Structure 1
Amino acid sequence: MSVRVNKFIADTGFCSRREAEELIKAGRVTVNGHKPSLTTRVAEGDSVLVDGQSLRVRKAKPGQRKHVYIALNKPVGVTCTTDETVKGNIVDFVDHEQRIFPIGRLDKDSEGLILLTSNGDIVNELLRAENRKEKEYLVAVNKPVTEEFLRGMAKGVRIHRETTLPCKTRRIAPYGFAITLTQGLNRQIRLMAAAFGYRVTQLRRVRIINVKLGALKIGQWRNLTDAELKGLLPERTEW
């Protein structure tokens, strides 16, 4: 049985499929000594190298997960990148024994729940825009939260030359509100609030689909449960 080389690389936990495609285009990958195309397939026993480093698909022991799936309560100041040259990158912060990378992003100035995995095969499934996965945030702002502001945020706001999708909002404090989004534009909540003259002073993500931040302390991480994985990836039977 053979698979495309980008899937093979993702299965090793080296990076996501999309990142693997960029490595292939950059000529940094070889298969049996030759530079592959994006459609090249890899079979058992083939030699796959990235920058001269040999890659092998991990085989899980019976009853053991093949990949790592964790939930982190990211502190402010940690950057969601795998680029080890960036000071305070999330990979160095977690310091996991396996190579992992974040699913999506959370701004450096924001805190809260982010998922990380060694399974590059699932990243696009969870991030695909048309899947409309819910993400919930608690937000503090510099002015009293009004019903007009909440209705305007929920209806959709013009940012990045497009109008954001309708979302759910609710007031939780005089200067605080909760918002549930189904998209993830860059700095979306901060820009939405700014459109109404508000400045975000604190932003914390507390839920991604069925995974909740709960009592996880800032800077701590935990492995996802089987129930959480089934909720995230209901079509899959193994992880």
Structure 2
Amino acid sequence: MANKIEKEFKNRENKGPVRLNKYLSEAGICSRREADKLIEKGLVSVDGRRAETGMKVLPGQVVKVGSKPVAREEEMVVLAVNKPRGIVCTEERRERDSIVRFLNYPRRITYVGRLDKDSEGLLLMTNNGDIINKMMRAGNRHEKEYKVTVDKPVTADFLAKMSSGVAILDTVTRPCRTEQIGKYKFRIVLTQGLNRQIRRMCEALGYEVKELLRTRIMNIELGGLKPGQYRKLTDEELNELYEQIKDSSNETWKGTDRKKDG
């Protein structure tokens, strides 16, 4: 039986107009930002006429990039990936170690949130822009869990300060949950994703992160995936994910907001 997210994906805006940059993104051509650049350069046409930035297209209209007709994706893809250290969360084609190049997945997919180059663990990748927007909105407060190894013994005082909020990046981090799981290791559950947040929090308290592994995003667990491996989410996982995000804002992230997490 199809999951709830997949049903919504198949039914999305099929009877109404959709912004051209979103259409091109869901056709697997490029990101929305890159689509706007193609449109500005005059490389996109709709029904034989040069497209304009911000325009919308209706079902049945013929969209082309150059001379190539394009169509939106009809099959939803959501993957759980164990990102290895050294792989970069970017769509920049010139980056040799980008996650897109590394996976080489046959359909165009992109990451939900990011992990920095030196971090590893669970990364979700999808062609469903609605999931990306709803999960990345900081105001939606979706949980992400990490295991962290630091350079000196974890103390109760350190954990208390981490969990109550740490001053970094001209703000104070949200209260979070922490738990010691080894002499040099602790678990932390965040509901926000500031740039290199955990590393900056530890540094502010006199610690250095040696290893950082993301083990969970909301209801999705890393489980037994080895570095570099990926799997499709199950219908049960997708249905539960849908229940958690269905009331979330899906306002599109803009600009550098894509450079958060990890």
Provide the TM-score with structure 2 as the length reference.
Answer: 0.81
Provide the TM-score with structure 1 as the length reference.
Answer: 0.88
- Structure 1 position 13, deviation (Å): 3.5
1:30 and 2:45 matched: yes
Aligned to 1:72: 81
Aligned to 1:49: 64
- Structure 1 position 160, deviation (Å): 1.0
- Mapping of 1:87-98 within 5 angstroms? 87-98=96-107
Residues 19 and 127 of structure 1: CA distance in aligned 2, closer, same or farther (over 3 Å): farther
- Structure 1 position 27, deviation (Å): 5.6
User: How big is the alpha-carbon RMSD for the aligned residues of Structure 1 and Structure 2?
Assistant: 2.0
Q: Percentage identity across aligned positions? A: 48
- CA offsets 1:98-138 (integer angstroms, 9 cap, x no match): 11111111010000000001223321111111110100000
Aligned 8 A contact 1:17 1:121 in 2: no
Distance 1:121 1:13 in 2: 15
Aligned to 2:122: 113
- Structure 1 position 158, deviation (Å): 1.0
Aligned to 1:63: none
- Structure 1 position 18, deviation (Å): 5.8
- Structure 1 position 182, deviation (Å): 0.5
Aligned to 1:207: 216
Aligned residue type for 2:20: V
| Residue correspondences, number | 229
Aligned residue type for 2:240: G
Where does the alignment leave 5 or more consecutive residues of structure 1 unmatched?
60-65
Distance 1:27 1:220 in 2: 39
SS at match of 1:214: coil
Residues 51 and 231 of structure 1: CA distance in aligned 2, closer, same or farther (over 3 Å): farther
Where does the alignment leave 5 or more consecutive residues of structure 2 unmatched?
1-14, 248-262
Residues 25 and 132 of structure 1: CA distance in aligned 2, closer, same or farther (over 3 Å): farther
Aligned residue among 141, 145, 163 for 2:154: 145
Aligned residue type for 1:44: P
- Mapping of 1:196-235 within 5 angstroms? 196-234=205-243, 235=246
Higher relative helix content: 2
SS at match of 2:50: coil
Distance 1:47 1:153 in 2: 54
Distance 1:49 1:209 in 2: 38
- CA offsets 1:183-206 (integer angstroms, 9 cap, x no match): 111110000000011000000000
Aligned residue type for 2:124: L
